[in-house]
Amino acid sequence: MTNITIYSKDYCPYCKAAKQILGNKGLKFLEIDVLERPDKLSEMIKRSGRRTVPQIFFGDQHIGGHSDLVEYYRSGEGRDQGQAA
């Protein structure tokens, strides 16, 4: 199974929703809180090209934020990473 990484902030409702989607699919993920680990913010920006959270990666594949994750499953792309939403 692909390693899943989600960059987040603890107060972010979209981060919570994205983590819930992944959790509901039974997927384990590494969460990196960029407030607790400010050094990881620059890593997130470099990897994603974006400054907002969440930023979600399946391995090296950048999925995007919450809306992108929802679309990823709706489009059927995510069939290898849990059930379609």
User: What structural domains does the chain harbor?
Assistant: 4-78 (3.40.30.10)
Distance CA 11, CA 36 (A): 12
The predicted pLDDT at position 64 comes to 98
What letter would DSSP give residue 1? -
Q: pLDDT tens, 32-42?
A: 999 999 999 99
- Looking at every residue in the chain, the average pLDDT score rounds to 92
Distance CA 38, CA 35 (A): 5
% of the chain exceeding 90 in pLDDT: 86
Q: What is the pTM of this model?
A: 0.89
List Cβ neighbours of 18 (8 Å cut-off, separation of 6 or more): 6, 8, 54, 56, 65, 66, 69
Given the structure tokens 């997927």, which residue do they identify?
A: 27
